[in-house]
Amino acid sequence: MVEWIVSEGLTDYADALARMEARAEAIATGSAEEAIWLLEHPPLYTAGTSAQPQDLVDADRFPVHQTRRGGQYTYHGPGQRVAYVMLNVGQRGKDVRQFVKHLESWVIATLAEFNLRGEIRQGRVGVWVPRPDKPLGLDGAPQEDKIAAIGIRLRRWVSFHGISINVEPDLSHFDGIVPCGIREHGVTSLVDLGLPVSMADLDLALMKSFESIFGDRPMQAAHSAP
């Protein structure tokens, strides 16, 4: 069974990273259970291993943290649920691509709990929602907005970092970066799409859909930190 941990308020990013790495190491040595850590951060930008300097549009807007997860620039802040995923991929088939697909499917299944269809796109990381309510793009194609980001790192076959889903963040905060290096599409949130979803609602949906995708029954969530 996977331990679920929920932190109230805003969690400092550097502190979260240290705790996450320590928990991942403990999982690798067999001294701790796998865990999903749900939290929110104060406004900040993170740069993954593929981040391009030109995609940091406003370097002075919020703190910028260099990370060793995959991906490019992303934003974290209040109103966005971050789920740090500390799972033993070595005991789950040692298939990193399949693991990422499971993360994508987990997000999509979670959004489906609110009757929202999330989709993935070849060559674009994350989960997207079509926006038929918006004008067609310059190329005549329907517009799409990103609602969730995915970026992980593995050490000794244990994952850390994870996913983020926009519940009700200030979407203007994404303007300081080119999210995931994609300029032609925007970002959205559950509330922006007209869905009055609370963070607690999303947490319940994440726990329910996790079991359907990963096959693990979540342990009762503890309100603490790893």
Contact between 162 and 152 under an 8 Å Cβ cutoff? The reply is: yes
Determine the pLDDT at residue 220: 61
> From the annotation, which residues make up the binding site?
69-76, 149-151, 162-164
Question: Is residue 226 in a domain?
Answer: no
Judge whether 202 lies within some domain.
yes
Q: Indicate the SS3 state at residue 196.
A: coil
Which of the residues are catalytic?
A: 180
Q: What is the DSSP string of 47-114?
A: E-TT--GGGBS-TTTS-EEE--SSSSEEEE-TTEEEEEEE-BGGGTTS-HHHHHHHHHHHHHHHHHTT
Per the structure, the complete domain to which residue 89 belongs is given by 3-214
Which CATH number belongs to the domain containing residue 112 in this structure? 3.30.930.10
CA separation for the pair 226, 222 (Å, rounded): 10
| Of 26-35, 43-52, 175-184, highest mean pLDDT | 26-35
pLDDT at residue 214, as a whole number: 93
With respect to residue 128, please indicate whether it lies within any of the assigned structural domains: yes
Chain segment 49-107, per-residue pLDDT in tens:
888 999 999 999 999 999 988 888 999 999 999 999 999 999 999 999 999 999 999 99
Q: Is residue 220 part of a domain?
A: no
Element (H, E) at 205: helix 199-214
Instruction: Write out the two tokens for 175.
Output: 């303007």
Q: Are 107 and 150 in contact (CB under 8 A)?
A: yes
Q: What's the pLDDT score for residue 15?
A: 96
pLDDT band at 219, cuts 50/70/90? low
Q: Residue 131 contacts by C-beta under 8 Å, 6 or more apart in sequence?
A: 142, 143, 144, 145, 188
- Bigger pLDDT: 73 vs 224: 73
Residue 221 lies in a domain: no
Amino acid (1-letter code) at residue 174: F
Q: Which residue has the tokens 């004008």?
A: 135
Mean pLDDT of the chain: 92
Q: Is residue 157 part of a domain?
A: yes
Report how many domains make up the chain: 1
CA distance 65 to 62: 10
Contact by Cβ (8 Å): 189, 171: yes
Burial of 93 (0-12, 13-18, 19+ CB in 10 A): exposed
Per the model's pLDDT, the better-predicted residue between 185 and 127 turns out to be 127
β-strand partners of 65? 46
Check residue 124 and give its pLDDT. Answer: 80
Query: What pLDDT was estimated at residue 181?
Result: 67
Taking residues 186-215, report their average pLDDT: 95
Residue 90 and residue 122: Cα distance in Å, rounded? 26
**Proportion of the chain above pLDDT 90, given as a percent:** 77
Q: Is residue 219 part of a domain?
A: no
**What would the pLDDT profile of 103-157 be if each residue is shown by its tens digit?**
999 999 999 999 999 999 987 888 999 988 888 777 777 889 999 999 999 999 9
- Rounded Cα distance between 107 and 21, Å, is 23
- pLDDT of 38: 97
Does 208 reside within a domain? yes
- Binding-site residues for substrate, in ranges, read 69-76, 149-151, 162-164
